[in-house]
Amino acid sequence: MKIVFLDSNTVGDVDLSPIKELGDYTSYEYTADDEVVDNCKGADIVISNKVYLGKEVMDKLPELKLICVAATGTNNVDLDYAAKKNILVKNVAAYSSMSVVQHTFALLFSMMHSVGDYDSYIKSNDYSNSNSFTCMNYSYDELSALTWGIVGLGDIGRNVAKLASAFGANVIYYSTSGKNSNPDYKSVSFDELLLNSDIISIHAPLNDNTYDLFKYDSFKKMKKSAIIVNVGRGGIINEVDLAKALVDNQIKGAALDVFEKEPIPLENPLLAVEDKKKLILTPHIAWASVQARERLIKGICNNISQFYKSNI
């Protein structure tokens, strides 16, 4: 069967040879919207990370039988229409959970401990010229003295909660679906989470319950000393309101790995926040540890192999 990977560059330098061995393989580093149909012509199987596959595309690809999403989320596929066309859609669940958990703490600790500022302090030679063995310019708290609020207690959220608890933090959570229940942690309303948390980390999917969940009024309810970390989806935080909240000192800081539009547009107000210490931004790479990407490719290969077996 003919296999086409529409945006192979999104998985970096991971070995793709296991996929290549499964069929007549073609890959494109990137595929623009107006190139999708041409790049997919004759394909039985299409692999896509971020390229959108909707009704108009599927109608022009009569051979298409399987869409492999190179991610956990499937919002880049019109799932209802794929089902009507008898096109199977398979994702790879939970392959990046521990990678995202680890990056959550990397973002938080970089901000809490002012790592970049202290690094610059030494490299500027100010430390060498100081008469003190230490520097107290930037203070930090122990997690054991803080309350960590988690939005979304799925696989990633539970693992963050587990590690936060190991540091001694008081963990509370808000279930955006209302379905998650975990006796190990205290479930609270959204307003309670905002009022009581020193740290809020977001691990929820983007849907009707979570879009624009954090607006200016939300930030006004948070502690002035609070830090928010978003490794979920960009649209969960209203970025215009977050920028205003940071400028107005409604919260201490924000660390974001995801944005409503990616790559982040130059006109995004977050980029105009003058006090850069209040904001840490990374380009949607929380999921992308070497091991996570290897698991992703393995999962894609497994989905294709299972498809072959079911169609023999």
* Residues labelled as active-site residues: 233, 262, 284
Buried b (16+ CB within 10 A) or exposed e, 69-100: bbbbeeebbbeebbeebebbbbbbeebbbbbb
Phi, then psi, of 244 in degrees rounded to 5: -65, -40
Report d(CA 45, CA 89) in Å as an integer. 10
Name residue 53's amino acid: L
Query: Which of helix, strand or coil describes residue 66?
Result: strand
User: How many other C-beta atoms lie within 10 A of the C-beta of residue 117?
Assistant: 12
Residue 263 preceded by cis peptide, ω within 30: yes
Give the separation between CA 156 and CA 154, rounded to whole angstroms.
6
Distance CA 92, CA 47 (A): 12
The β-bridge partners of 254 are: 228, 279
Check if the beta carbon of residue 233 is closer than 8 Å to that of residue 256: no
Contacts of 167 (CB under 8 A, 6+ apart): 142, 143, 144
Q: Residue 228 in contact with residue 200, Cβ under 8 Å?
A: yes
* Four-CA torsion 147, 237, 55, 35, nearest 10 degrees: -110
Per-residue DSSP letter, 265 = P
